[in-house]
A and B are shown apart, each in its own frame.
Chain A
């Protein structure tokens, strides 16, 4: 692709397009038009042939244009596969301009949708999709100038389509979070020689992101400079530019989280799950993060801040396809939480004080990341408890990523006021008592807090708060899924969440984060399911995020938090969640909280069910199609995620998808 060698007159000539259409008339017309635009065209009338060509050499083409109606394979399916496997921009072509179909295209991750007869003017513009994608990749290689200048890094146009997540695609990108892991080399930072013109895209895998978060936490968010981060990470082939770009995105995320946190209940902040990467980061540092969190007092303020970061991660990752794979680094999370707490406290004021007893602060902070995410989710539910949640999150996150099971537990319980379910009614998560499997993380955490102490809930009167806390605790909250989206969250809080369905809209966006956190949690919770969920979540971190994000927005309380992994895996999880949700409502704090949550969830579920379809589709695409997984019972999610986990080990960069939507 010669886009990079932009030559004023020639650009964008030389764009290599693969055209697929079973109609020979249209195909010839398309080919001629494309040649007229000075593109290099390859045509085929069979989707299967097209895939073969693409698989032979991924770098041979820059763009794919495909018809929707084809005899051998559905155009959307091809779209998803291409997005997943090759991560190329795909444009759909059809004689049918029905908005529903166009929407379907978007959710599957199409960059564009053209109607037949296609006009040359439209084709003259298709190169923008390629450039846009390249820019996203190129950002990683930008110098560090950007690091201090947050731009809209989150604006990565994921093929999303959603994601599609589109998807997002989506692709689903979904990305579609999507089952597809186009990032088969996700663990390779640079799979190509960096000296080649076309710089390989750096895939910020969960692992990588975790390291990044750990490094950032270690240095301190304010002092983190790419060079030092790079040194700390000690990753081969990662350039300072990559880190700089990622850092920038991360910061944007944190910022966003903090903004969201302010608006939303603390829950969001606590969970900060919105940014899986964030979470991951936190988790990595897990313990380390605690430090960053600072004292309780600070915690609150700092936590909020940290959240935004995490939120960013989600976004950051998303574009880079990092997805939320990584387990939320505990380190990050705490930081985030702290930041969030600030935000949340501001907004809710309840956030911190209630939940975070001094010691907890550490936890809270950690949980913050999730809350950050929560913020995004719109936890307006006064989730004072959210702050508590962060703890849980932390616990989870830590566990997950950093594998500090002990630490986590401690955190959850002791350190995090939120987490200590015992102490805080709000804390849902940390509490093994809850023994709710992780499912509920996001939402549940809040709920669990409530439920756990169901009796307490009323005391706190925080139903709303709980949500936030729950959400936060879920920490896992993937990106800004405000309660509704908590899909991720659930994973975090293995125990509590289950019942709590509190779909605290944990920002599921960060699904990846949650995933990671899940693992640790499982340990804690002794809930076999939790373990499962975690695992599932972890694997599918990417997905969850993607999936959830849309939901979150739709349903603030969805509380489907469900494990992220699950989200990715499938729609199933989502569906499950909704089911469970209802049942969950009956659990403990059902009285207060559940009512609320149920309502929310129901509404969200409904909304999400609509979205679900979208997501499901998106997920597959991983392109970022955020599938608005309806509020599936977290349990199901976990279970499914567990199952899926094995199947989908691939982290989809859907995180991006989700994140974007958050923003």
Chain B
């Protein structure tokens, strides 16, 4: 399964002269936001008495933003994560949290690599194809 889905290419389509760094901007926002959410989830799950609603709310948000950016794998983990929250299954939630964190880290590093490469191409005078 790919790390990003079609939504990601949709983002690219939105990038133009008026917003030349749109994709990078959105991705950066996503990274910041995701990290905050993951940390909040971790904190919530560490509590002796876990507030699953709170955790679920964080997961929901992460799901929304990951789907907006096209982070497919992260989103899928979030879906599973939510059902564990509904079931108030702490173990399951912890596992999902780890998975989410893992997927997120992978995604971030890949995207950053991608962006770096794109910048290099652009700096060298080339252009980056949309597809």
Count of A-B contacts with CB under 8 A?
58
Query: A10 within 8 Å of B by Cβ?
Result: no
A33 at the interface (CB under 8 A from B): yes
The answer to whether B19 and A26 have CB atoms under 8 Å apart is no
- B 12-37 contacts with A by CB, 8 A: 14, 18-19, 22, 25-26, 29-30, 32-33
A25-B14 contact in complex given A32-B22, A69-B60, A96-B60, C-beta closer than 8 Å: no
Interface flag for A95 (CB, 8 Å): yes
Q: At the interface, yes or no: B57 with Cβ under 8 Å from chain A?
A: yes
Q: Does B88 contact A (CB under 8 A)?
A: no
**Cβ–Cβ contact B68 & A116, under 8 A:** yes
Q: Does B7 interact with chain A (Cβ within 8 Å)?
A: yes
Q: Is B26 touching A33 in the complex (CB atoms < 8 A)?
A: no
Contact A69 B68 (CB under 8 A): no
Query: Which residues from B are CB-within-8-Å of A25?
Result: 26, 29-30, 33, 65, 68-69
A96 to B64, CA, bound (A): 8
Among A22, A29, A36, chain B packs the most CB atoms within 10 A around the CB of A29
Q: Are B19 and A95 neighbours in the complex by a CB distance under 8 Å?
A: no
**Docked CA distance A94–B64 (Å):** 8
Does B101 lie at the interface of the complex (its beta carbon under 8 Å from any beta carbon of A)?
A: no
Of A22, A117, A119, A120, which is in contact with the most chain B CB atoms at under 10 Å from its CB?
A: A117
How many Å from the CB of B2 to the closest CB on chain A? Answer: 16
A76: min CB distance to chain B, Å: 15
Say yes or no: A95 contacts B64, CB within 8 Å: yes
Q: How far is the CA of A26 from the CA of B67 in the complex (A)?
A: 9
How many B residues are at the interface, by size bracket? 20 to 34
| Complex Cα gap A35–B25 (Å) | 16
Chain B residues with Cβ under 8 A from A28's Cβ? 25-26, 29
Q: Does B11 contact A (CB under 8 A)?
A: yes
Q: Decide yes or no whether A23 CB sits under 8 A from chain B.
A: yes
**A interface residues, how many (CB within 8 angstroms):** 20
Write out, one digit per residue, whether chain B residues 65-77 have a CB within 8 A of any chain A CB (1) or not (0). Answer: 1011110000000
Q: How far is the CA of A26 from the CA of B69 in the complex (A)?
A: 8
Cα separation A33 to B18 with both chains bound (whole Å):
12
Kindly identify, within residues 11 to 51 of chain A, every residue whose CB is under 8 Å from any CB belonging to chain B.
22-26, 28-29, 32-33, 35-36
Q: Are A29 and B33 in contact (CB under 8 A)?
A: no
Q: Is the CB of A116 within 8 A of B29?
A: no
Of B11, B57, B64, the contact of A116 (CB 8 Å cutoff):
B64
Task: Known contacts A23-B33, A28-B29, A36-B14; decide if A95 and B69 are in contact (CB<8 Å).
Answer: no
Task: Out of A23, A32, A69, name the residue touching B14 (CB < 8 Å).
Answer: A32
Q: Determine if B61 and A23 form an interchain contact, defined as CB atoms under 8 angstroms apart.
A: yes
**Is the Cβ of B67 less than 8 Å from the Cβ of A24?**
no
Q: Is B10 an interface residue (CB 8 A)?
A: yes
Selected from A22, A96, A117, the residue in CB contact (under 8 A) with B68 is A117
Cβ A117 vs Cβ B61 within 8 A: no
Contacts A32-B19, A69-B57, A96-B60 hold; do A26 and B68 have CB atoms under 8 A apart?
A: yes
List the A side residues contacting B65 at CB < 8 Å. Answer: 23-26
Chain B contacts for A119, CB-based, 8 A: 10
| Interface bits B49-88 vs A (CB < 8 Å: 1, else 0) | 0000000010011011101111000000000000000000
Min CB–CB distance B5 → chain A (angstroms):
10
What residues on B are CB-neighbors of A95 within 8 Å? 60, 63-64, 67
Contact B26 A29 (CB under 8 A): yes
Query: Which residues of B are found within 8 Å of A36, using beta-carbon distances?
Result: 14
A96 proximity list for chain B (CB < 8 A): 60
> A25 to B26, alpha carbons, bound, how many Å?
6
Complex Cα gap A119–B26 (Å): 15
Closest B residue by C-beta to A94: B64
**Nearest B residue (CB) for A119:** B10
- List residues of B whose CB falls within 8 A of some A CB: 7, 10-11, 14, 18-19, 22, 25-26, 29-30, 32-33, 57, 60-61, 63-65, 67-70
18 A-B pairs within 8 Å (CB atoms) are namely A23-B61, A24-B33, A24-B65, A25-B30, A25-B68, A26-B64, A29-B69, A35-B18, A69-B57, A69-B64, A95-B60, A95-B67, A96-B60, A116-B67, A116-B68, A117-B7, A120-B10, A120-B14
- Residues in chain A within 8 A of chain B (CB atoms): 22-26, 28-29, 32-33, 35-36, 69, 94-96, 116-120
Q: Contacts A25-B69, A95-B67 given; 16 further ones with Cβ under 8 A?
A: A22-B61, A23-B33, A23-B61, A26-B65, A29-B14, A29-B69, A32-B22, A33-B14, A35-B18, A69-B57, A69-B60, A69-B61, A94-B64, A116-B67, A118-B68, A120-B14
